[in-house]
């Protein structure tokens, strides 16, 4: 668990300003959804927190550490992408343990963590399968498992359910909520889907054009949108 503090974060790609002096304070253990239309800078913000993109100015703090210039692997975060990014030739177990083996963790500890992750994500029967033998939902569980075994403080999700069909999306949403309740980790979840935001978030940050327009509890955003953009974007949760 850790709070995440984004301070005056700006990111330019060439002459294009993608994030504009953005500030956001995320409490330890909160489930935050970054909601906004395609191209508004959600992935860029998430990548910046993960250390996967160069920033132009500003700071990123996780807990009491200024991680702005820390390596991604040192930040205590785990990231789950829309596409699964699993190692196709490794089994589920192999995919879950790979990073820990690279980091030099001892075998017993690795086994313990993998066991725990497959229990939590209910993929125990799939341990010996390879990604090609899994459904989309199962692959995404494995992808979440890879963050889980690392015992991270902060989970980052970039539209993790958008490749799945509607029924599976609903199922995994419920599981993510359960996971969050069980772990109490800080979770930052990117989507352009209002329903997803509404059902998952403790607080929603509505973004457009590299700026956070409103950051509040779902109810507050729907009842009292601060401007026309927010009203229009969340307006009809039909
Ligand atoms: P979102 O995730 O909200 O759809 P992104 O963060 O991916 O948006 O992108 C925000 C804007 O930045 C878009 O206009 C996109 O084209 C631009 N962009 C993203 N990555 C790069 C890059 N590496 N180089 C140049 N422009 C980029
Ligand atoms: Mg994106």
Task: Evaluate if residue 237 carries a pLDDT over 50.
Answer: no
> What pLDDT score was predicted for residue 236?
54
Mean pLDDT of 204-233: 95
Task: Evaluate if residue 137 carries a pLDDT over 80.
Answer: yes
Mutate to test the pocket of ligand 1, among 13, 37, 160 (most ligand atoms within 8 A of CB): 13
Q: How far apart are CA 47 and CA 42, in angstroms?
A: 9
CB 37 near ligand 1, within 6 Å: no
Residue environment code for 30-41, b if the CB has 16+ CB neighbours within 10 A, otherwise e: bbbbbbbeeebb
Strand partners, 80: 157
Cα–Cα distances (Å) from 8 to 11, 56, 58, 131, 225, in that order, read: 10, 10, 5, 40, 23
CA atoms within a 13 Å half-sphere pointing along the CA-CB vector of 81: 9
Q: How far apart are CA 82 and CA 27, in angstroms?
A: 25
Task: Evaluate if residue 238 carries a pLDDT over 80.
Answer: no
82 Cβ contact list (under 8 Å, min separation 6): 158, 159, 160, 162, 163
ipTM of the complex: 0.97
Tell me the percentage of the chain whose pLDDT exceeds 70: 99
CB 169 near ligand 1, within 6 Å: no
Mean pLDDT of 44-67: 96
Q: Contact 26/49 with Cβ under 8 angstroms?
A: no
Mean pLDDT of 91-115: 95
Closest-CA residue, ligand 1 atom 10, reads 41
Q: How far apart are CA 178 and CA 4, in angstroms?
A: 22
DSSP state of 151: T
Mean pLDDT of 21-25: 97
Q: How far apart are CA 50 and CA 68, in angstroms?
A: 10
């Amino acid at each position: 668990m850790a709070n995440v503090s984004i301070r005056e974060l700006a990111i330019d790609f060439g002459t294009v300003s993608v994030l504009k002096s953005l500030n956001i304070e995320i409490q330890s253990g909160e489930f935050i959804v970054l909601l906004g239309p395609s191209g508004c800078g959600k992935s860029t913000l998430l990548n910046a927190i993960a250390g996967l993109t160069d920033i132009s100015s500003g700071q990123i703090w996780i807990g009491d550490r200024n991680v702005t210039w820390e390596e991604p692997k040192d930040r205590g975060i785990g990231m789950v992408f829309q596409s699964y990014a699993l190692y196709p030739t490794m089994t589920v177990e192999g995919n879950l343990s790979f990073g820990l083996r690279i980091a030099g963790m001892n075998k017993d500890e690795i086994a313990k963590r993998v066991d725990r992750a497959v229990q939590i994500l209910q993929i125990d029967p799939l341990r010996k399968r390879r990604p090609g033998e899994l459904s989309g939902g199962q692959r995404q569980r494995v992808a979440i498992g890879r963050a889980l075994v690392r015992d991270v403080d902060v989970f980052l999700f970039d539209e993790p359910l958008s490749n799945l069909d509607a029924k599976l999306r609903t199922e995994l949403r419920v599981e993510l909520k359960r996971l969050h309740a069980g772990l109490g980790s800080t979770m930052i979840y990117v989507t352009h889907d209002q329903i997803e935001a509404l059902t998952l978030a403790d607080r929603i940050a509505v973004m457009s054009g590299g700026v956070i327009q409103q950051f509040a509890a779902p109810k507050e955003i729907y009842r009292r949108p601060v401007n026309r953009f927010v009203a229009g974007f969340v307006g009809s949760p039909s």
